[in-house]
Amino acid sequence: MAKRPDSVETTILLLEILKRIPKQRKITATELHKQLCNEGLNRDLRTIQRHLDMLSDHFDIERDDRNKPYGYRWLEQAKGVSLPSLTSQESLLLTLAERQLRLLLPQKLMKSMSGFFDQARRNLAQPSTPQRERQWLKKVRVVTTSQPLLAPVIDETVFEEVSAALYENRILQIEYKNAAGETRNSRVQPLGLAQQGTRLYLVCRFDGYDNERCLALHRFIKAKCLVEQFTYPGDFDLEKFDEDGRFGYGLGRRIKLHFCITKDAGFHLTETPLSLDQQVIEHDDRYEITATVVDSAILTWWLRGFGDEVWSVERSDP
C-alpha cells in the first residue's frame, strides 16, 4: 500500500487548495485537481474532493451541491487565506503590479496569485498600515498622451480561453467579427498578446498560413482553447514584431524621415527623440528633425496631428 503523505505535506496541500478557491466564481474539484497536478502536487481526485468537503465545514467556503460536479467559493465577506508575511511595502507593490499586469499575464497565473492580491488589498486597508503606504495608491497614475477612450468590452470567457491557449501553445478555435462586420470561424495559433492604449490584440497565425495577423480581442464572439497543441514558431519574435511597426499598421519598412516643426510643438522631441540617430537643427523659429523610423499609418496620423505646425515632410530610404 502506498505511503500516506505526512502532516507537513498535507498541510501544504490544504494551503494550496485554500489559496486557489476563488471569490467571484465557483471552482470544481476537477479544476483544482488539474491546477495542483500542474504544480507537481499529484493527488487523486477523491483526495481533493475529501479535503474540499472538510475545508468547507471549517472555513467560510460555500459548497454548491445542487448539481454535480459541486462548486466551491469563498463567501462574499470571507477573509480567505491570511498571508501575514506580506509587509506594507510588498502589499503596495503587489497592488500596483496587479493593475498593470491583469491583462498581460495568463489568467491561470493571475488566478493562482489572487490570494496574494486579495491579501495585499486587505493589508493596505488596515488602520495599522502606515498612512504613507495607504496614500501612495492615490499618488501614482499612468496617464495617456492622447485623447482618453473607454476600453472596449472583452468577453471574460473569451479572454480566459485566449490566455490559456497562448500560455499552453494550443490551437484556438475562434468566431471573429472584423471591422467591416464580417464574421468568420477559424483555427489560429496564438503567438502573442499586446496592449495598445485601451485595446488588446492577439498576434496569431491562421491555419495553413505562415504570416502573422493582429486580431482585436473585443471583436471575438467566441473562443475555445483546443486540446491540440502546436510548435511555437522559432522565427517569431513579438518584440521585433512591435519594433517593425506592425502594431502601427506598417510592414516594417524603415525610412529616413525629415521635417520641420515649430518650437512650441517640437520641443518635446528634444527630450524624447524619435530614434537613437535623431538629429536636430535649431533655427530661430523652428526645429529641423531627421530620424530613422518605421513607416506606418500611425506615423502618418502623428504627423497630421500637428497640422500647420509641421511642414516640409520628406521620406527617403535610410
Domain boundaries in the chain?
7-74, 88-136, 156-233, 246-316
Question: What order do you get walking across the sheet with 183-196 strand by strand?
Answer: 213-216, 199-206, 183-196, 170-177, 220-229
Using the predicted structure, report yes or no on whether residue 84 has a pLDDT greater than 60.
no
Least trusted range by pLDDT, from 28-32, 100-104, 159-163, 309-313? 100-104
pLDDT of residue 297: 87
d(CA 159, CA 225): 11
Over the range 141-151, which residues count as b (16 or more CB within 10 Å of their CB) and which as e? eeeeeeeeeee
Q: What angle do CA 54, 78, 92 make, to 5 degrees?
A: 120
pLDDT in tens, 89-124: 777 777 777 777 776 666 666 666 676 777 777 777
Contact between 32 and 48 under an 8 Å Cβ cutoff? The reply is yes
Equal fold, 7-74 vs 246-316: no
pLDDT of residue 85: 56
Q: What is the arithmetic mean of pLDDT over 157-174?
A: 91
Using the predicted structure, report yes or no on whether residue 128 has a pLDDT greater than 80.
no
> What's the CATH architecture for 156-233?
Roll (2.30)
pLDDT of residue 160: 87
Residue 75's pLDDT band (boundaries 50, 70, 90)? confident
- According to the CATH classification, is domain 7-74 in 1.10.150.120? no
3-class SS of residue 211: coil
Using the predicted structure, report yes or no on whether residue 152 has a pLDDT greater than 80.
yes
Using the predicted structure, report yes or no on whether residue 298 has a pLDDT greater than 60.
yes
Using the predicted structure, report yes or no on whether residue 81 has a pLDDT greater than 60.
no
Residues in the chain: 318
Topology annotation, domain 246-316? Alpha-Beta Plaits (3.30.70)
Q: What is the arithmetic mean of pLDDT over 264-287?
A: 95
Q: Which residues contact 90 (CB under 8 A, 6 or more apart)?
A: 120
Amino acid at 239: E
Q: Is the pTM of this model over 0.85?
A: no
pLDDT of residue 83: 47
d(CA 223, CA 216): 13
